[in-house]
Amino acid sequence: MEPAGATSCPRRHEVESWPHVHGYRVAMAPSLAQSERQALCDLLEERGPLAPTLCEGWTTADLAAHLFVRESRPVAAAGILLSPLAELTERAMDKAKGELGYGGLIRRIRSGPPYPMRLLDAQVNLMEYFVHHEDVRRAEDGWQPREDAELDAALWQTLKRGARLMTLRLRDAGLELVAPGHGSVVARTTEPRAVVTAGPQELVLLMFGRKKAARLEIEGSEAARAALETARLGL
């Protein structure tokens, strides 16, 4: 567990980038998505398979199985977004845990996504791995938000692009996200409007349904705040 005062970002993991040229790996600086992936794998190893997460009902073993199925079992992963297929995803997760074990799941996650997802890793996986990294970090006492300007900037740019899509299920209220030092984005123009002010990391957690674990300042009418409280945000 991180000590309560530890807020600085750890050194970026020194991992190779994954693209190949003529069959040989090309050494490149790791992307933020890769760094979050490696940091999450380190934390999963440290916490063990039975540690809690912010994902209700899931242990760290369940989270590892989810990430493996999401990247390596595309048919079974359909249940992540399509609730009628959720049982298919759950069976695939149980099978992965049984066949690979906790350590094997972590090794597969650490090795990176298969093609073609590997080509879009930085675009597709930054927020996914950031959120799940925080799911493990913030599930135990003593965490603090990370101080990481590079991560904040990248998350904010990604969040701005996806904010409208992630608030499609917000009803009867609008939403403006304000990240001091980065800017603001109106995700929903409906009135009344809630205004949420926080750092990019906290705003991403809000938009992925981790409102209770995020440090946020929320302003707006009672109706707007109530609509935000009950909304199912995210994809």
pLDDT at 55 over 90: yes
Q: Would you list the DSSP string of the chain? A: ---TT--BPPPPP------EETTEEPP-PPPHHHHHHHHHHHHHHHH-TT-B-SSTT-BHHHHHHHHHHHHH-TTGGGGGT-GGGHHHHHHHHHHHHHHHHHHHHHHHHHT-PPTTGGGGHHHHHHHHHHHHHHHHHTTSTT----B-HHHHHHHHHHHHHHHHHHTTT--S-EEEEEETTTEEEEEE--SSEEEEE--HHHHHHHHTT-GGGS--EEES-HHHHHHHHH-----
pLDDT digits (tens, 9 = 90+) for 131-176: 999 999 999 999 999 999 999 999 999 999 999 999 999 999 999 9
Per-chain mean pLDDT for the chain: 88
Q: Which domains does the chain have, with CATH numbers?
A: 20-137 (no CATH), 152-230 (3.30.1050)
pLDDT digits (tens, 9 = 90+) for 15-36: 444 444 334 343 344 699 999 9
Mean pLDDT, range 36-64, rounded to an integer: 97
| pTM, two decimal places | 0.85
